[in-house]
Amino acid sequence: MPLVNSKQILLDAQQYNYAVGAFNVENMEMVKAVIGAAEELKAPVILQTTPSTVKYAGTEVYHAMVNAFAARSKVPVCLHLDHGDSYDLAVQAIRVGYTSIMIDGSAKAYDDNVAISRKVVNEAKRAGVPVEAELGRVGGKEDDLDVEADTNTDVGEAIDFVQRTEIDSLAVAIGTAHGFYAGTPVLNKQRLSEIRDNVSIPLVLHGASGISDEDVRDCIRRGICKVNFATELRVAYTDAVKELLREKPETFDPKALGKVGIEAVKQLVKNRMMVCGCDGKAETRE
């Protein structure tokens, strides 16, 4: 089916108390793996590219790949710009055909974050594309950005931010971090519940790689409707390729490397979808 936007699938997740898995993809093999997992589990799915991934091949290439696989799929597939770092990149992705956009102004002063988020929303509305933005700071490393300390989302600012920007979903900071964790993460779940009680739009959890399954499920119970996974997919793909080369160092066919990478990523994605509870939630079409 054609690519869908993220608005309705996240509203459905919000209504029925599950989350949609959102998976960062780097190449054709990962695109194939993620959509294949969604088809096997009959799950709606969001595929994401970051600014550094886009630099690697271009928004046109990633859109063409995802769109081609989505056209053959019977489950809803959304293509999302993750951590869009500029208005120009957001507009480029919209014009190419991305069906969901994140503008990340969380590193800016609050009013500047409001301003750039509102500017992107104004452009996206004309194209019917929903917008995610981030308030507070998620720690760790995402793309080329390092954040040394977490600043949890303020409830009062969240209310004001959503009203002023008119975004469609809000990424919240509650103690998660991008990448893998050096120790056991301590999540401010009470803050998440407070935000949910005061903000009506779907909430997004970044930095889920390395969080326990039970913590993810608890965050979903407390209002998270979209959960992002990135680092662990890269590790699964790369580890599978390394293992094949250890066992069969004579392997030279890139397709052989891709096949083991696809299978490893597919199995991981299926596990994460079941943790999110989105398996079986897709409205499939012939």
Q: Order of strands, edge to edge, in the sheet holding 177-178?
A: 145-147, 139-142, 177-178
In whole angstroms, how far apart are CA 69 and each of 40, 84, 101, 105, 256?
14, 23, 20, 31, 20
Question: Strand 139-142 vs strand 145-147: parallel, antiparallel, or unpaired?
Answer: antiparallel
Q: What is the DSSP letter of 173?
A: -
Q: Tell me how crowded residue 111 is: count the other CB atoms within 10 A of its CB.
A: 9
From residue 120, alpha-carbon distances to 47, 98, 153, 154 in Å are 20, 14, 21, 22
d(CA 91, CA 112): 18
Chain centroid to CA 153? 18
* Token pair for 38: 């969604």
Q: Which of 119, 114, 74, 115 is nearest to 101 (CA)?
A: 119
| The dihedral sign for the CA sequence 273, 221, 113, 138 | negative
Rg (CA), the chain: 18
Q: How far, in Å, CA of 58 to CA of 180, rounded? A: 27
Q: Which of 12, 82, 143, 279 is catalytic?
A: 82
The angle at the Cα of 186, spanning 185 to 192, to the nearest 5 degrees, equals: 120
How far is it between the farthest Cα atoms of the chain? 59
Element (H, E) at 88: helix 87-96
Indicate if 12 belongs to the active site: no
Active centre residues (catalytic): 82
